[in-house]
Structure 1
Amino acid sequence: MDEKTRSRISPISVPKPADVLASTLRRMIVDGAFSPGDFLPNERTLVSQSGLSRASVRDALRMLETEGLITTKVGRSGGSIVTRPERDAVARSVELFVRTHGVRLDSLLECRVAIEPTLARLAARNRTQTQLEEMTALHETFVESVTDVRLYKAINLDWHLAVARASGNEPLTALMEAIAMPVRDAMDYQHVTTPELRLVAVKAHSAILEAIRTQNGEQAERRMARHVIGYREIATGEMKNTL
């Protein structure tokens, strides 16, 4: 490296003013300076306090609204109201990342292998009677769907999401919700499943559901692991009929 290269300054990345303000307000909301239901300072006050332009303030507020941290109320008594992001907002953000970054199907299936057995174990421990009844009803429809690929595809997804929600673990459920739709959309069920394989899946779901019903967490986890690993092998061309 010559002397000229050593003395050269690399380009400096300066954050956008709107990003800085959004980060500041986000941190204040997370730290409890503003609680759900509180109004943020109005636009004029934020401009005055931050020294930023009105456009930058508006951009910052739009970021927070997209993240589900605030909602905007219009009218004379309107403003930016602090809210608590719902799980589906988190799921949408992760799903958007998955779709826009072209995450590979095998990577998504690895995520399922990593999280679904844990979700099944937690569902066995935490499920309510109402949730058990929902999973049971979905399973009954699933049993009837083996001759209808379109119905099978929809009910299969609904059942797995019902198990996730029964876990009571919000972050893992949000992740499951985020990857479930891209996986379903990426799968060509006409070519990766047969009536025989669908019957194998029905048997797997039955075993998982029974473990959840009897609240046998270890068995639910083990059965789900076998199921999703088998699903991954079929989807990636390593079929072993282990659904």
Structure 2
Amino acid sequence: MTPELSGRQLISADQIDRPPWPKTKLPKASAVLAEELRNQIVVTKMPEGRDLPSESDLIERTGYSRGTVREALRLLESEGLITTRRGPYGGVRVSRPDVSQATRSIAVLLALSDATLGDLFHFRRVVECATAALAATNATEEQIAAMFRATEDEEQETVEGVVSFHNLIADSCDNEFYRVTMGYVLNIAAWHTPQAGLSHNDVCVARGAHVDIAESIAARDPERASEAMDRHLKSFLAVIKKSGHLDSPVLRPETWANGTAHL
């Protein structure tokens, strides 16, 4: 037979037995079980606190080893989807992931990137002004009252207090995408801000801006609320720029090295 067959080479039996492509890697049993449980929780929207089968029940139902079941449960617990407790009153229960858990993953990416504090503030101006406008439309009277209480709280004169006010606005906008996104952003902002050399006076000025924002939201004026937030962020941006930190990494690698990364 001619070695030429429409420009194609014949495949030998040896090549059929041992294909040149890599073999498909099968998922670990623990990952398969974790995926099954994850699907049940998410697809059926199981409420927080719902009991799931215990470790021993899962072993009996699935036929997996104790080590496999425990590893699957550890995976889900690391994602914040379940909590596990041992003892007579223990068990496996559905929980809800905390924003800080996802923030850690994002923080690692940012720490390894060239993202700057200036990048963070430019992003905040886009997203947070829209969040304030939504809050002016959707915030409940109880949420607005909480904003005013926050502006009167002495804790507002701390970095943590400043960030907590912004979280109140995110929680009041009635849009999960904005709320979750702002949760990530504000966690990262809270981490970096203490390193930015802010004075006590800077924080007090921010507190005054919060009053203006709260009043705009209470007036149910989205445009005014957005403008008040933009003024506040631009003012804060100017302070950061004056301090020389605008081009600093948004998450400094040495923070991780020194063990001070606590998102």
The TM-score, its normalising length taken from structure 2, stands at 0.67
Please tell me whether the aligned partners of residues 121 and 218 of structure 1 are also in contact (alpha carbons under 8 angstroms).
Answer: yes
Match of 1:163 in 2: 169
Please tell me whether the aligned partners of residues 137 and 221 of structure 2 are also in contact (alpha carbons under 8 angstroms).
Answer: yes
Amino acid at match of 1:168: D
Match of 1:130 in 2: 142
Match of 1:100 in 2: 108
Separation in 2 of the partners of 1:69 and 1:230? 39
Aligned length: 224
Match of 2:193 in 1: 187
Identity of aligned residues (%): 29
Note the C-alpha offset of 1:169: 3.3
Match of 1:148 in 2: none
Q: Whose helix proportion is higher, 1 or 2?
A: 1
Match of 2:159 in 1: 153
- Structure number, greater radius of gyration: 2
Match of 2:261 in 1: none
Q: Per-residue CA shift, 1:164-200, capped at 9, x if unaligned?
A: 22223344323323332321231356645684x6676
108, 112, 117: which one pairs with 2:124? 112
Please give the root-mean-square deviation of Cα atoms over the aligned residues, in Å.
3.6
Please tell me whether the aligned partners of residues 123 and 163 of structure 1 are also in contact (alpha carbons under 8 angstroms).
Answer: yes
Q: Per-residue CA shift, 1:4-48, capped at 9, x if unaligned?
A: 9xx742474443321221111111121228655543333344334
195, 217, 230: which one pairs with 2:222? 217
Match of 2:78 in 1: 66
Note the C-alpha offset of 1:77: 6.5
Is residue 228 of structure 1 aligned with residue 233 of structure 2? yes
Amino acid at match of 2:107: R
Separation in 1 of the partners of 2:194 and 2:82? 39
Stretch moving more, 186-195 or 63-72? 186-195
Alignment of 1:195-214 (within 5 A): 195=201, 201=206, 204-214=209-219
Any idea what SS the aligned residue of 1:9 has? coil
CA distance change for structure 1 residues 90 and 115 in 2, over 3 Å: closer, same or farther?
farther
Task: Return 5+ residue gaps in structure 1 as ranges.
Answer: 146-150
Amino acid at match of 1:23: E
Separation in 1 of the partners of 2:230 and 2:150? 20
Task: Return 5+ residue gaps in structure 2 as ranges.
Answer: 1-8, 10-14, 247-263
Separation in 2 of the partners of 1:18 and 1:140? 51
Separation in 2 of the partners of 1:201 and 1:187? 13
Note the C-alpha offset of 1:206: 3.6
Any idea what SS the aligned residue of 1:68 has? coil
Alignment of 1:17-96 (within 5 A): 17-32=29-44, 36-76=48-88, 78-83=90-95, 85=96, 89-96=97-104
Separation in 2 of the partners of 1:176 and 1:136? 20
The TM-score, its normalising length taken from structure 1, stands at 0.72
Any idea what SS the aligned residue of 1:168 has? coil
Stretch moving more, 214-223 or 92-101? 92-101
Stretch moving more, 169-178 or 53-62? 169-178
Stretch moving more, 199-208 or 115-124? 199-208
Separation in 2 of the partners of 1:232 and 1:10? 52
Separation in 2 of the partners of 1:172 and 1:226? 20
Any idea what SS the aligned residue of 1:187 has? helix
Separation in 1 of the partners of 2:47 and 2:199? 49
Separation in 1 of the partners of 2:130 and 2:78? 30
